[in-house]
Structure 1
Amino acid sequence: MLERTPTFLLDAGGASSTPQSPTPEQQTDDARLDAYSRAVTAVVDRIGPAVVRVEPQVSGRGAGMGSGVIISPDGLLLTNSHVMQGAREARLTGSDGRPIEARVIGDDPDTDLALLRANGDWLPFAALGDSKLLKRGQIAIAIGNPLGFESTVTAGVVSALGRSLRAKSGRLIDDVIQTDAALNPGNSGGPLVATSGQVIGINTAVIMGAQGICFAVASNTASFVVSELIRHGRVRRASIGVAGQTVPLPRRVTYAAGLVDNFGVAVAAVEPGSPAEQARLEQGDVILSLDGEPVGGVDDLVRLLNGERIGRFVELVLLRKGEMRNVTITPVERRTKAA
């Protein structure tokens, strides 16, 4: 019986092509990749059971679908306001496939967050972290149910911090996290998680047509909204009772007031019986600052009129007929869309 002689392929230099041992650099790269994989899989194993599918119930029937995350062992759950669409009840499906009923505690369209309580005790949960500690480039992991595919995981990085995103209510959501972790319809309301295993954001929006630009409401904003909804059933915000529009300012006014922005808010209308009327604000007044904070537009005014200013004196700096004036005003709780 003839023995077959082993055949070796030759490269261009004539050397035989035999298996090569990995170089130290390749071994280091493999170790890093393994560390990355271990970090992501550890987070998924830990947080995945707390992520649920959310189906709002209207007259006992499903009305769309999204994701949510349980944030406490007694069943508190966060999702998006736009997922709930005003519904007061929802049917949840956990990672184990069992159905769970839930009811809405409070809804805040201005931050696109809704707080629910799921029926059940000692449910798996994920803790909200401190989004102020985030850094650009940090690993971000999104878990949810995109396009109906349950328990889907995508990973990327924190692309940017401190973004602003306009909610469907028209109000700007401040301190939004931008990430390139892939999100799709159905991811809304699911958690964005750090490798520490803490929830750093609630996924909320994708820019259609853009690639790798997705957004999440920061966990610190979510923590504030949760505390307000539990305490008051709503997020309290202040109002002075004006309708306004952003207008450019003359350079001399900007210089005299020491402002950075070249814009202010012109009062277009004053609501009868409002704090603005009581403080004798007039149509045509231009608001330049509130409690020393510059007001460079309507969004700034809305942002500064937070719940902490309800019922206490604040100082407005106005421009009226070419003259600067200081006015003291006491905001009330906002019940309408008026600033």
Structure 2
Amino acid sequence: MGVSSHDMFGGAAVPQPAVAGSYGEAPPGYRLPASLRLGPVHLQVSNLDRSLAWYSQVLGLSELRRAGDLVELGFAGAREPLVILETRPGTKVTRPGSRLGLYHFAILLPDRPALGRFVQHLSDIGARAGASDHLVSEALYLHDPDGLGIEVYADRPRSEWKRSGRELMMATDPFNFPSVVAAARGEPWTGMPAGTVMGHLHLHVGDLARGAQFYHAALGFDRIVWRYPGALFLGAGGYHHHLGTNTWAEGAAGPREDEARLLSWNVVVPEPAEVEASLIGGGFEGRNGEFADPWGTVVKVTGGGGSG
């Protein structure tokens, strides 16, 4: 989501209770399973030591493994990383919103108290962040030292989500800082907690319809929110979104190889061959489970279950 404050429905629709399976539009063919989860995001950064310090001190991620110019980060003791950082010679810092591709990746905390602890932590260290209430979730927004966008958020219970017809209701409303901080009950932030997962990705694309051909019709996500200005939100299993696409960087080109950027993101499903067949059937070529969208953003399709 963005961080400006407005109601996507303009007050015209009467909210209705959200009931499982009662909202969204399924793709015409293959449909991603409800068991889908997201694996790590792989980022190219300009200075590995600087990025490591920031991701540790600000986000509270721990170093899990390191091999040369590549580092895997996650919560302490995690089996699978949330973020993979890699540095390549000559990589330059990027300006937010100047390229198609990554708008932000979003780290989902286990609950609201964890978000409250994180809010207090950011205040304690003087870190700047945007913040929004999206009805289905409450979120903070930051940029890393290379200008790459990051969201850290907590979901509201699904029983509190609302719909308008077949569409889930989301908005960008003011964030209630006192209420969120109070949920922490004074407990200190001790780093990214166990149970944290990669919640969603949000991408700048050149055209929403072309993006939907790839991510909805071929990859197999449901359309969940389609009336948000300049954006489309897609998910599996009734989730508010595993992926957002937007045209808010209209006219921008794709990322350059010598810039900080998203190298790939990861969709984890029980039967990756089914997803690959759907993408190939939709006219998109891939290799070793890796497929590029029309603007060059690479999604990896891998097999597996459970969580990191």
- Under TM normalisation by the shorter chain, which class is it? under 0.3
Q: Greater CA radius of gyration, 1 or 2?
A: 1
TM-score (norm 1): 0.22
TM-score (norm 2): 0.24
Q: Report 1 or 2 for greater relative contact order, CA contacts < 8 Å, sequence distance ≥ 6.
A: 2
Question: Which structure dedicates a bigger proportion of its chain to strand?
Answer: 1
